């Protein structure tokens, strides 16, 4: 009886004993996508629980995102290439990694994961790898030369990074399942499902809407179809442009709003796909954060993400949290949850599928679409609350830390 009782209360004791966590991530620039958003939200809860955090990135320390990052940060950049190689990282890890209970590596295919494996292979400190969908075989739909280079790098480096890790974190069961169809061979000690989560957006929805519409007054009274994310070919925005152009003249009340950074010049490709006669029907805002971003969600009628491959899509969850139904491809790994809750529409990741998404939205009666908005909010509250995601994350870190050092956190 006593043993069973202790087994029930033991997880609660773990929160009374703070962890020392070292986090490696390529960049803390919010324009780089979801991982840094998740990192910051988890960090707020870890700080509440008394955990000591330190983040290492490849950012130039003089950049605004590095200077204003709200947690202890060592920025080792600038690095001349996307790979992020720097001679500073391994010496830093040799000097400091032993001071932490667990190391969290966000992402693979860059130098930070290789350096962690190289250094921690000789240090009794466990590390975990949060893959963030980077093992999705959809990423391998590239040139044969690039795919071969990736496979060779896998054999030389990333296979061993994951093989040595104390655990590999996947955000969904779908991500873990499709990861096994990616690179070969594939081995890890243990896999953990550690979902993303999202804090409830600020509730001043009307103020947010006004902030956005003051920036773009021509959007008042329009039916807004919102795309928000990095302009990357994998996001499917090229076929979105084609599908929108085919329907725009029959629906003059609709405007497509494109929100996001254009770090790879994909935006110029997308702009060229918009016919001259429809240029005023597509609005390009650039990167938006804070109330401006939330105002875009609050002003839209539908959110669209027709990606060829998408691990989680934080922006789609942000849309759901605003009560905004989503239109997504079946390659977004949370599509089954959206479909199960009636929080949007899901189709194939091709031009025909993207066209059907727009047709289904445009054909849905207003009352039914309003009901889907309520379902979107329920979907967020049921599946994507930050508290539930954080609990999974921290309990996984505690298990890893305790397995490496059983003396840690003995209640």
Q: How far is CA 320 from the centre of its chain?
A: 15
**Closest to 362 (Cα-Cα) out of 257, 223, 235, 227:** 223
- Ordered by start, the domain boundaries in the chain are 2-197+386-404, 205-383
- Residue 3: its pLDDT value, please? 39
Please provide the CATH number assigned to the domain covering 2-197+386-404. 3.40.50.2000
The confidence score (pLDDT) of residue 31 equals 75
Q: What is the pLDDT of residue 6?
A: 41
What was the pLDDT predicted at 147? 83
DSSP assignment of 149-215 equals HHHHHIIIIIHHHHHHSSEEEESSHHHHHHHTTSSSS---S-EEE----BPPPPS-HHHHHHHHHHH
Residues with Cβ within 8 Å of 229's Cβ and at least 6 positions away in sequence, in order, are: 33, 235, 259, 260, 305, 313, 315
Instruction: Name which CATH class applies to 205-383.
Output: alpha beta
**pLDDT value of position 1:** 41
- Token output for 118: 């190289």
Predicted structure pTM score? 0.86
In tens digits, what is the pLDDT along the chain, a chain of 411 residues? Answer: 443 444 444 454 555 579 999 999 999 998 777 789 889 999 999 999 999 999 999 999 999 999 999 999 999 999 988 899 999 999 999 999 999 999 999 999 999 999 999 999 988 999 999 999 899 877 666 567 878 888 999 999 999 999 999 999 999 888 898 888 878 899 999 999 999 889 999 988 999 999 999 999 999 999 999 999 989 899 999 999 999 999 999 999 999 999 998 767 899 999 999 999 999 999 999 999 999 999 999 999 999 999 998 888 999 999 999 999 999 999 999 999 999 999 999 999 999 999 999 999 999 999 999 999 999 999 999 999 999 999 999 999 999 999 987 665 443
Q: Tell me, what DSSP letter sits at residue 198?
A: B
Tell me the C-alpha distance between 99 and 120, whole Å: 12
What are 156's two structure tokens? 């030389």
CA distance 179 to 269: 30
What digits encode the pLDDT tens for the residues 385-400? 999 999 999 999 999 9
Same fold, 2-197+386-404 and 205-383: yes
DSSP structure string for 381-393: HHH-BHHHHHHHH
Adjacency order of strands within the sheet including 326-329: 282-286, 254-259, 223-228, 302-305, 326-329, 344-347
pLDDT digits (tens, 9 = 90+) for 164-215: 999 999 998 888 988 888 788 999 999 999 998 899 999 889 999 999 999 9
């Amino acid at each position: 009886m006593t043993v069973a009782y202790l087994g029930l209360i033991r997880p609660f004791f773990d929160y009374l004993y703070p962890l020392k966590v070292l986090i490696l991530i390529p960049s803390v620039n919010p324009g780089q996508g979801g991982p840094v958003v998740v990192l910051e939200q988890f960090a707020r809860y870890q700080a509440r629980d008394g955990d000591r955090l330190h983040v290492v990135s490849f950012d130039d320390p003089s950049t605004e995102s590095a200077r204003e990052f709200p947690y202890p940060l060592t920025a080792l950049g600038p690095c001349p290439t996307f790979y992020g190689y720097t001679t500073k990282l391994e010496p830093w890890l040799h000097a400091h990694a032993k001071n932490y209970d667990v190391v969290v590596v966000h992402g693979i295919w860059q130098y930070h994961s290789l350096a962690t494996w190289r250094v921690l292979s000789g240090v009794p400190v466990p590390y975990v790898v949060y893959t963030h969908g980077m093992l999705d075989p959809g990423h391998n739909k590239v040139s044969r030369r690039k795919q071969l280079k990736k496979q060779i790098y896998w054999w030389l480096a990333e296979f061993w990074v994951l093989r040595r890790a104390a655990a590999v974190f996947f955000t969904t069961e779908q991500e873990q399942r499709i990861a096994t169809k990616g690179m070969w061979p594939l081995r890890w000690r243990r896999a953990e499902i550690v979902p993303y989560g999202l804090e409830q957006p600020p509730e001043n929805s009307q103020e947010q809407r006004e902030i956005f519409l003051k920036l773009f007054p021509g959007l008042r009274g329009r039916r807004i179809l919102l795309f928000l994310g990095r302009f990357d070919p994998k996001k499917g925005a090229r076929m979105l442009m084609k599908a929108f152009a085919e329907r725009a003249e029959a629906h003059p009340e609709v405007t497509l709003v494109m929100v996001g950074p254009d770090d790879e010049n994909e935006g110029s490709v997308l702009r060229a796909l918009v016919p001259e006669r429809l240029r005023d029907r597509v609005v390009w805002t650039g990167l938006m954060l804070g109330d401006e971003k939330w105002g875009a969600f609050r002003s839209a009628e539908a959110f669209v993400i027709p990606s060829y491959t998408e691990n989680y899509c934080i922006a789609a969850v942000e849309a759901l949290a605003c009560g905004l139904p989503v239109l997504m491809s079946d390659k977004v790994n949370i599509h089954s949850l959206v479909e199960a809750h009636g929080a949007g529409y899901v189709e194939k990741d091709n031009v025909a599928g993207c066209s059907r998404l727009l047709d289904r939205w445009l054909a849905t009666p207003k009352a039914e679409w309003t009901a889907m908005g309520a379902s979107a909010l329920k979907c967020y509250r049921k599946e994507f609350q930050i508290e539930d995601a954080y609990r999974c994350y921290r309990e996984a870190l505690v298990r890893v830390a305790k397995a490496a050092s059983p003396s840690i956190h003995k209640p």
